[in-house]
Every structure is written in C-alpha cells, then in structure tokens.
Structure 1
Amino acid sequence: MQEKPGPQYPYGGYPYPPPAPSWFLPVPRRARYDHLARTPATRPWQAIVGTLVVAAGFLLIGVIVVTMFVLGAAVLGLPSPIHPSGLPKGTPAGLAMSLLSIAPVLLLVFGTAALIQRRRPGTLSSVAGRLRWTWLLTCAVVGLLAMILGQVAQYFALTSAGLDTEMFGWAGWDAFLPLLVVIVLLVPFQAAAEEYVFRGWFVQAVGAHVRNPIWSILIGSALFASLHGYSWAGLLDVFMFGAVMAWLSVRTGGLEAAIALHVLNNVIAFGTSAAAGTLDDALNQGKVPVPWQALAGTVVQLGVYAFGVMYLAKKRSISTISQ
C-alpha cells in the first residue's frame, strides 16, 4: 500500500518562515563587565569611531541645549541663564540648562553601542543585560552611610587645619524649592549619563581589546577629571572617585554602585548649595579652591563605600560575569 505524501511546506520543510536574524550580536558568555563588548565581530575601529561619536555628541548636545536656553530666554524676555563669563547662573533655569546639557548623552551612548557595536544597550548597565534596581538601591543605602562618615572625617580634617567648616546655610523656601525640583528631576539622569559614558562605554570599549581593566580605569578617570574645573585637590578628588567607581563596576558586574553614589553625591552637593544660596559658586568649579585637607573625607567615603559594596556583593552573590 503506497503511503500518502506528507504536507509540502514552502519554508524548507517548515510551515512558518524562519525568524529574521537579529541585528544584535550574542552577549559573550561568562564575560566580565569590561569584556561585554568583546564579540567575534569586534574590530578596533568600532571602539575608536564610537568613542569619537560619543565625544562629539557630548559637545554638540551641550552647545544645542545652551543655545536653546539662551535664545528661549531672549524670546520670552526672561533673564539669561548664563553669566557674561559663559558660566551657568545658580537659578532654576541655569541649573536645568547645566544638567540637560549632559543628561541626553545617556541616549547617545545607548544608540552608539547598538548601531556601531551591534550589541544590546542593556549590556552597558550590567552583566545581566539590565539595570539591577534592587542592587542599586542597596548600594544607595551604603552610599548614605559612607557620605556621612566622609563628612565627619572632612570636618575633623578641616578643623584641625584651622579652616572654615561651615557647610550649611539657608536661603529660604522661595529660593530653595524651585531649585530642589530641578535637582530631584534632572540630577539622576545627569549623573547616570556620566557613568554610562566613562564607566560604561569607555571601560567596555577599551576592554573589548585589552584584558586588564587597569588601563580603561586610569585613562577613563583622567578624562572624567579633565572635564571639571577644580583646583588640583578637587581634580584629584574627582579622579579618585572615577577610579573607584570604575573598579567597582568591574568587580560587581555593573554600573549600579557607581550610579548610586554619583547620584547621591550630586543631589546632596547641589541641594546643600541651593539651600545655602551658593549655587553660583557650585556651578563655577574654579571659584572656590578645594583645600587638600578635604581629601581626608574623600578617602574615608570611598573606602567605606568600596568595602561595604564589595562585602554585600559577595554576601548576596551578585553576579559579576554574564551567563
């Protein structure tokens, strides 16, 4: 008895068309955070071109935002958000302009990773391919403790040197509340954008071709510090912060620890300056020199934070490699 022929499918023996190939390349398995861009298709030109795109976009976004704010104020008959020197004023508009000139870079970094390196933007966040929110909030709690201990250490260091230790003042609710709204709404995006550029994109772009993360940590931290206008002690403070945050990103498998402390630092720094009515000085980084004795607070804060984060990461079995 002759068998009946089976159904004839048009797609190579399957009833449905095969799925279209994904644009995104597979995530490297069991890879450290700084090696997540290390795929078989990785080429040196991608890191170079991508870094140039991010740098040029960073500058261009800043120019566009500042121009829009200045022209908008002129059209609406409002005070200019910048001083004649070109520095932002310590007003809600000036602060918003300063923060918005950086925050959109977050989208630029995601797009650069997706289009040039053909990898999922989530790999910039962590080895899990996403931001681990519970871990980020845990790091924020450790960050609050570390900042308190750092401020105490800074107070005693400045006092012993006979320097001014007054850190708080009050400008009144009318002046403070509008600034507080801007700080709460925009600082998290501004701080996160800087982390995704320097501890995310740069560390992984270099890590795609270099096994040891020390070079991306040191060079990226130097570039991060170079964008600030502080005195030498302030620049050393920023460099130390960048280096520890990059090290923690590699050791914990993601940007959560870096973002948490960066957001806290900026919210409290801008918040206390806004409350005291000294936001102009905070935005003019070179106006008030940072005494070298204040570095004692930085050392304590970063030391406590790094120890606490690493202890909890081990205790909670936070993944440090991709699956």
Structure 2
Amino acid sequence: MYIEQGYKGLSEAWRYVLGVLLVFLGWQIIGAFPLIIALLIKSDSLSTVLTDDLGVMSGILGSNAFLFFMLLTFAIGIICLFGYLRFVHKQQIKHLTTSRKKIDWKRIGFSFSIWALVSSLFIAIDIYLSPDDYQWNFELVPFLILAIIAVIMIPIQTSMEEYYIRGYMMQGLGIMTKNRWFPLLFTSLLFGLMHIFNPEVAKMGYGILIFYIGTGFFLGILTLMDEGLELALGFHAANNLTAALLVTADWTAFQTHSVYKDVSQPVLGWDILIPVFVIFPILLFIFGKKYGWKNWKERLFGRVLTKEEFAALNESESDMA
C-alpha cells in the first residue's frame, strides 16, 4: 500500500503535476544561488562562473567547498519538496516514506550497512588487482573536512533524489494511472537519464546509462516490494558516501579529497553489467528473504486501489482493530 499512502493527503493530479515542476525549479534554480554567489566572489570572470565544467568550478572554490555548495542545492530542493507536501498536499513526510505505522530506521541502517560493505569490498579488490590504476590521495585535514561534509550532506542529497523520484513521483503516477508497472518504469528510466549530464557519461559514453537505469529499477523494485522508501534511502546514501570518501577521479561527478584517486583511463566494459545483472538480483533475494516478500507480481505490476477502495479498506481494518 505504499503508493496508496498518497491518498492520505490531497491527491488530485494537478497537485502532482504542479509539484513536480515547482520543486524542480526550486531545486535547480533557487538551490543554485549559493553556488553561483560563491563562484562570483571567487572568480573575476562571469563566463567562468557560467561554465558547466565541474572541474573548473571545483578548482575555483576548492573541492571541499564546491562539494558543499553542490550538495546544498539538494538540501534546498528537499525543503521545497517537504514544504510543498505539507502546504499543498497536506500530507505527512511519514506517508511519503513508508506504508508502515512509523519509519523503520533499522531498515535504512541494514540497507546502508550491507551496501557500504559490498561497495567498499569491491573497491578494495580492484585496488589490490590493479594497483597501478590508483594513487594514494589521503591528506588528513582535507579528508576530515570532506568526511564532515559528506556524512552530513550526502544523505540529504540522496534522500532528495529518493523522495522526489521514487517517493513523490511514484505515488503521483501510481494514483493517476492506477497501476504499479508504469510508475516503476517511468521513475527508473528518469533516474537513469538524470545522470546523462554526469562527466562519467561524457567520458565513457552512453553505455554507462545501463548502470544508472539498472540502479533505478533496482531501487524502484525495493520500494514497491518493501512498501516503503527505507531500503532505497539506505542503499543510495551508502553508494554515494563510499564513492566520495574512498575513490575520486578527474572524470567523476564527485571530485574529492578521498583516500585514493583513480588515475586510469576510463573504459566502458563488461564490469558495469555485474552490479545490474548479478549483485542487485542477489541483494533482492537477500532483502526478500529477510523481510518475507511475497506476491512479487502483484506488488510490481498489480493495480493501485482507488481512493474510495483505500478508504473502505482502512475503515474495515479500524473496525477489526
């Protein structure tokens, strides 16, 4: 009943359509003001400030300061989203998060822990097998500053993406289409395509979108099967946090004072298929066993109840209680 949680607020289609637009504008335009102002203060050239080259902007501000201002756009975005949810939809954040009586923080922690462990292990194995591809990049003070920024701000960044795409859009599209497969398909493709302007895509080609779209489907399946965002929130935070702290490169979105720097020439290879077609299915199996998932077909492709059906169901459950 995760999608149907949208009925616990005002759920007319126009509210969702307007909300997607206004929150996006607040996130991308208002959220960018602090970064633009910081760049203007540090740079003498307006053309330099208006560049879309992350490396140039990072060079102007310094990698830690640039990371902070870049992540601040997501903090402003999530404030816009929660504000719109509260005042236009009259919906609680809890109902955008989960169908459970309260947010399950243990689910978030478990998902975070398992993916932080797995992704760190993969990085360690790759460094061991290809030591020439990595350069020791650790500097204590810059790393400690990075760690503070990352631990505070990256979960906000990943939560904004989850709440906006797999939360708000998933519920809105499900309520409008009255099915589950279209929200899953649409939000997964959108999540992947949102990364199309990442420097990794420019460097390695559009084939890497297989990974981003595949990750979108994985997180969407987590959300629908578990009837809540908790597992997706934990996974996404762990993924970006380990990437920011452990390994950086000149051609990635996160250029940080991490422990290692990847100095290899990036090549699009079969290795991007392993997470999507091997690791993610294994994780789905683990999560499914742990949380007792059943009725996969119904949860992923079944219909969404109407508002009247959902109200009647809640009423009958209240009577039984």
Indicate the TM-score class for this superposition, using the shorter chain for normalisation.
Answer: 0.7 to 0.9
> Contact 1:206/1:216 (CA < 8 Å) preserved in 2?
yes
For 1:258, the equivalent position in structure 2 comes to 232
After TM superposition, the structure 1 stretch with the greater mean CA deviation from structure 2, 210-219 or 171-180, is 171-180
> Contact 1:124/1:200 (CA < 8 Å) preserved in 2?
yes
Residues in 2 aligned to 1:129 and 1:288: alpha-carbon distance in whole angstroms: 49
Instruction: Provide Cα deviations, 1:46-76, integer angstroms capped at 9, x if missing partner.
Output: 22111111222222233213223224546xx
For 2:274, the equivalent position in structure 1 comes to 297
Do the aligned partners of residues 151 and 307 (structure 1) sit closer, same or farther apart at CA in structure 2, a change above 3 Å counting?
Answer: farther
For 1:283, the equivalent position in structure 2 comes to 253
Residues in 1 aligned to 2:215 and 2:63: alpha-carbon distance in whole angstroms: 27
Do the aligned partners of residues 97 and 148 (structure 1) sit closer, same or farther apart at CA in structure 2, a change above 3 Å counting?
Answer: closer
Residues in 1 aligned to 2:156 and 2:252: alpha-carbon distance in whole angstroms: 19
Do the aligned partners of residues 97 and 51 (structure 1) sit closer, same or farther apart at CA in structure 2, a change above 3 Å counting?
Answer: same
For 1:115, the equivalent position in structure 2 comes to 87
Instruction: Provide Cα deviations, 1:18-52, integer angstroms capped at 9, x if missing partner.
Output: xxxxxxxxxxxxxx112211369532212211111
For 2:152, the equivalent position in structure 1 comes to 185
What is the SS of the residue equivalent to 1:291?
coil
The aligned amino acid for 1:105 is G
For structure 1, which runs of at least 5 residues remain unmatched after alignment?
1-31
The aligned amino acid for 1:268 is T
| Percentage of identical aligned residues | 22
The aligned amino acid for 1:226 is L
Instruction: Provide Cα deviations, 1:157-209, integer angstroms capped at 9, x if missing partner.
Output: xx8xxx99835633432442322222122111111111111111110111112
TM-score (norm. length: structure 2): 0.73
Do the aligned partners of residues 99 and 38 (structure 1) sit closer, same or farther apart at CA in structure 2, a change above 3 Å counting?
Answer: same
> Contact 2:244/2:254 (CA < 8 Å) preserved in 1?
no
> Contact 1:218/1:243 (CA < 8 Å) preserved in 2?
yes
Query: Quick one: which of 164, 176, 200 aligns to 2:143?
Result: 176
For 2:221, the equivalent position in structure 1 comes to 247
Q: How does 1:141-180 map to 2 (within 5 A)?
A: 141-147=113-119, 155=126, 166=133, 169-180=136-147
Q: How does 1:13-32 map to 2 (within 5 A)?
A: 32=1
Residues in 2 aligned to 1:65 and 1:209: alpha-carbon distance in whole angstroms: 36
Relative contact order, higher structure (CA 8 A, sep 6+)? 1
Q: How does 1:78-89 map to 2 (within 5 A)?
A: 85-87=52-54, 88-89=57-58
For 1:13, the equivalent position in structure 2 comes to none
Pair member with larger Rg: 1
**RMSD of aligned C-alpha atoms?**
3.4
Shift of 1:108: 1.6
Q: How does 1:1-323 map to 2 (within 5 A)?
A: 32-38=1-7, 42-73=11-42, 85-87=52-54, 88-89=57-58, 91-128=63-100, 130-147=102-119, 155=126, 166=133, 169-228=136-195, 229=198, 230=201, 231-274=205-248, 278=249, 280-283=250-253, 289=266, 291-299=268-276, 300-314=278-292
Residues in 2 aligned to 1:314 and 1:104: alpha-carbon distance in whole angstroms: 37
Count matched residues.
273
For structure 2, which runs of at least 5 residues remain unmatched after alignment?
256-263, 294-298, 300-309
TM-score (norm. length: structure 1): 0.73
